[in-house]
């Protein structure tokens, strides 16, 4: 085989090896071992889990921005007057 044909084959082989290595490093077992051994994490016990119930619906309130700088100045001025009056 000539040198030109060897390079793409070597490159493809190396790429496959790297992918296999990464898959091994990212396996669930390896992640679990890392979390337990290195980080000291433990799986939660059922007694540690607490569920809560929220009574309100999901709601997002977005205030519209002021129209221009003069409206902003007027609001700040009114806030200052209200503060000074007590």
pLDDT in tens, 11-52: 788 888 877 777 777 788 888 888 899 999 988 888 988 888
31/40 Cα distance (integer angstroms): 12
> Average per-residue pLDDT in the chain?
81
Looking up tokens 């493809």, which residue turns up? Answer: 12
Listed as own residue / partner, the contacts of 56-63 with beta carbons closer than 8 Å and 24 or more positions apart are none
User: In this model, does residue 2 exceed pLDDT 60?
Assistant: no
Higher pLDDT, 48 or 65: 48
Share of the chain above pLDDT 70, in %: 90
Alpha-helical (H) ranges within the chain are 3-25, 28-37, 69-85
């Amino acid at each position: 085989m000539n040198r030109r044909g060897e390079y793409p084959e070597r490159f493809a082989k190396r790429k496959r090896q790297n992918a296999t290595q990464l898959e091994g490093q990212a396996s669930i077992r390896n992640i679990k071992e890392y979390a337990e051994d290195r980080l000291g994490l433990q799986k939660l016990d059922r007694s540690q889990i607490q569920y809560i119930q929220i009574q309100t619906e999901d709601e997002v309130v977005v205030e519209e921005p002021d129209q221009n700088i003069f409206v902003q100045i007027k609001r700040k001025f009114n806030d200052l007057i209200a503060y000074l009056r007590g």
